[in-house]
Amino acid sequence: MSRPRVGIIGNSYLLDDSYPVHANGTMNSEAIADVSGCLPLMIPADPRFVSVEELLEAFDGFLLTGGRPNVHPNEYGEPATEAHGAFDRARDAITLPLVRACVERGQPFFGICRGFQEVNVAMGGTLYPEIRDLPGRMNHRMPPNGTLEEKFALRHHVNFIPDGPFARLFGSEQVMTNTLHGQGINQPGQRVVIDGQAEDDTPEAIYVKDAPGFTMAVQWHPEYRAPTDPISRPLFEAFGEAVHNWTQA
């Protein structure tokens, strides 16, 4: 029996600063294949190559990955500044309408880091350009130096709403996570529920209220060591179950 197909949103890069490519972190594919039990396939997130309608028919679920470029602030009614960093307008053009379509159809998606922010913006929310500049906030950015293990090390707690979907999934109202992001949610979008927050009140876990499908998204990176990590694994297992259920609906 063939595995359900999960489209993994790819990011645009320049290889050797000259050759345009779409890329996806291996750990994303590993999490989808080994934990979610699905077939991982990368999507070149660019409307020149794919349409939202085609993607909805070709895939059973979607993984909205992290990435260095940020959602363009024009998408939430603000001017771009240097603090907003780099952008990927082609990815914006695919992922934002894709999120809205999935919410309406009940088709499952799982958002990570930039994907978490995409879910909020797609539903009409806004973002802060730089969390660490806000009074009382921690620096959530990835450490500039160190090994991969050091960059993805657990750095802060996330506290969940008692008896909310994340607390039920983890069997706990508090977990420790990594943190590798500069931007974050300012105003939540329509129907976006902030279910988990860091110790400095930065939103870290959301879902779309009353959506018929899986809409969980997290600001941290659960794809790191997903097969063995006790917090990452339940997320990808739940997403995989939702994708399998979609194929049988």
Active site members: 113, 221, 223
Rg of the chain (C-alpha set):
17
Instruction: Give me the long-range contacts of 104-108 (CB less than 8 A, separation at least 24).
Output: 105/56, 105/212, 105/213, 106/211, 106/212, 106/213, 106/246, 106/249, 107/56, 107/60, 107/61, 107/62, 107/213, 107/246, 108/60, 108/61, 108/62, 108/213, 108/214, 108/215, 108/239, 108/242, 108/243, 108/246
Relative to beta strand 109-112, strand 61-64 is parallel
Q: Taking each helix axis from N to C terminus, what angle separates 89-105 and 114-122, rounded to the nearest 10 degrees?
A: 60
Nearest CA among 115, 129, 71, 143 for reference residue 220: 115
Phi, psi of 2 (to 5 degrees): -75, 150
Count CB atoms within 10 A of the CB of residue 39. 17
